[in-house]
A and B are shown apart, each in its own frame.
Chain A
Amino acid sequence: MKIPYFPGCTLKTTAQNFEMSAIESAKKIGIEFIELPRWNCCGVVASLTSDDLMRHLAPVRNFIRVQEMNKQGLVKNENRLLTLCSMCYNTLSLSNLRMKNEADDLQKINDFMHREEENYDGNIEVVHFLSILEEMGFDKLAQKITKPLKDLKVASYYGCMLLRPKEVGIDDAEAPAILENFVKSLKAETVDWDAGSRCCGSYHTVNNVDIVYNLVKGIILDARKNGAEAIITSCPLCAFNLDVRQSEIKKDNPDFQTIPIFYFTQLMGIALGLDKKAVGLEFNKIDTEDILKKKKLI
Chain B
Amino acid sequence: MAQIIKLKDKDTDFLEKIMELSGEQITLCEQCGTCSAGCPFVSEMDINPSQIMRLVMLGQESVMDSKTMWICASCFTCTVRCPRKLDLSKVSEALRQVTLRGAIDEIDIKEISDEEALKLPTIAVVGSFRKFTG
User: What residue of chain B has the Cβ atom nearest to residue A90's Cβ?
Assistant: B76
State which residues 94-134 of B face A: CB under 8 Å. Answer: 94, 97, 107, 111-112, 116, 119-128, 130-132
Q: Please tell me if the beta carbons of B90 and A203 are within 8 angstroms of each other in the complex.
A: no
Q: Determine the interface band of chain A, counting residues with CB < 8 A from chain B.
A: 35 or more
Q: Please tell me if the beta carbons of A202 and B90 are within 8 angstroms of each other in the complex.
A: no
Q: Please tell me if the beta carbons of A165 and B76 are within 8 angstroms of each other in the complex.
A: yes
Write the B76-102 contact mask toward A (1 if CB under 8 angstroms, else 0). Answer: 110110000001011011100100000
Q: How far is the CB of B129 from chain A (nearest CB, A)?
A: 8
Q: Please tell me if the beta carbons of A164 and B76 are within 8 angstroms of each other in the complex.
A: yes
**Distance between Cα atoms of A49 and B95 in the complex (Å):** 10
Q: Please tell me if the beta carbons of A160 and B21 are within 8 angstroms of each other in the complex.
A: no
Q: How far is the CB of B113 from chain A (nearest CB, A)?
A: 11
Write the A237-268 contact mask toward B (1 if CB under 8 angstroms, else 0). Answer: 10010001000000000000000000000000
Q: Please tell me if the beta carbons of B126 and A44 are within 8 angstroms of each other in the complex.
A: yes
For residue A198, CB closer than 8 A to chain B, the reply is yes
Q: Please tell me if the beta carbons of A165 and B23 are within 8 angstroms of each other in the complex.
A: no
Q: Please tell me if the beta carbons of A45 and B23 are within 8 angstroms of each other in the complex.
A: no
Could you say which of A45, A51, A199 contacts B77, with CB atoms under 8 Å apart? A199
- Contact (A160, B122) CB under 8 Å given A48-B90, A49-B93, A49-B94: no
- Contact (A206, B89) CB under 8 Å given A50-B22, A199-B40, A201-B73: no
Q: Please tell me if the beta carbons of B90 and A10 are within 8 angstroms of each other in the complex.
A: no
User: Which chain B residues border A10 with CB–CB below 8 Å?
Assistant: 121-123
Write the A44-57 contact mask toward B (1 if CB under 8 angstroms, else 0). Answer: 11111111100100
Q: Please tell me if the beta carbons of A13 and B120 are within 8 angstroms of each other in the complex.
A: no
State which residues 40-70 of A face B: CB under 8 Å. Answer: 41, 43-52, 55
Q: Please tell me if the beta carbons of A166 and B130 are within 8 angstroms of each other in the complex.
A: no
For residue A205, CB closer than 8 A to chain B, the reply is yes
Most buried by B among A45, A160, A244: A45
User: Which chain B residues border A206 with CB–CB below 8 Å?
Assistant: 107, 112, 116, 120, 124-125, 127-128
Pull 6 A–B residue pairs with CB atoms less than 8 Å apart, ordered by A: A9-B122, A46-B74, A165-B89, A201-B73, A203-B131, A240-B123
> Which residues does B use to contact A, with CB under 8 Å?
20-23, 40-41, 44, 71, 73-77, 79-80, 87, 89-90, 92-94, 97, 107, 111-112, 116, 119-128, 130-132
Known A87-B127, A237-B127; 20 more pairs at CB < 8 Å: A10-B121, A44-B130, A48-B74, A48-B93, A49-B90, A50-B22, A85-B123, A87-B123, A160-B77, A174-B80, A198-B40, A202-B124, A203-B123, A203-B124, A204-B71, A206-B112, A207-B128, A236-B123, A237-B124, A240-B121
> Which residues does A use to contact B, with CB under 8 Å?
8-10, 13-15, 41, 43-52, 55, 85, 87, 160, 163-166, 173-174, 198-199, 201-207, 211, 215, 236-237, 240, 244
